[in-house]
Amino acid sequence: MNADIILGSRVPSVNLGYLSDGAVATLSTDALFANVRSVLIGIPGAFTPVCSQQHVPDFVANADRLSASGFAQLICIAPNDPFVLEAWRCQMDPHHKIRFLSDGNLDFARALGLSEAHKDLFLGSRSKRYMLVVHDRTIQRVRVETSILTYSCTCAEDVLIAA
């Protein structure tokens, strides 16, 4: 777990972006996480190999099981702009099982202490790969991968086991 994230604390209050009828819209995390149980995955980037081949497909494939286990919303937060994120969502989740939100300014990742630079991969600053379980804006569970290139502790099955 990241030292900056305290279980039982509130999620950071920031705005996230998404496309609505082709225009950028914002949504506050206060409104997003109010009065619901959510599981969210933070990823380093749309179209990156681990995100596209493992992480997001796993959550899309298990979306119905996650919803049946009591999660009102499934969210993917990425450091990409809303336009790129929407194009990727169309490929990864054409049936809209997961809500994709842009943290293009890294406000959410930085507030959680989950941003890092990846100059070696020419990615610049990105989000770490993580998973949060949130109930009514309160963080109940945190998992953070040791590297953005690994996918071991942020799997849908890890959420379902503890659900």
Q: Which residues are catalytic?
A: 51
Q: How many CA atoms lie within 13 A of 24 on its CB side?
A: 12
Identify which of 3, 57, 45, 40 has the alpha carbon closest to the alpha carbon of residue 149.
45
Work out the number of other CB atoms within 10 angstroms of the CB of residue 72.
11
Work out the number of other CB atoms within 10 angstroms of the CB of residue 34.
10
Residues 6+ away with beta carbon under 8 Å from 105: none
Which pair of structure tokens corresponds to residue 115?
Answer: 């941003």
CA distances from 83 to 19, 60, 148 (A): 7, 20, 22
For 113-130, b where at least 16 C-beta lie within 10 A, e where not — what string?
ebbeebeeeeeeebbbbb
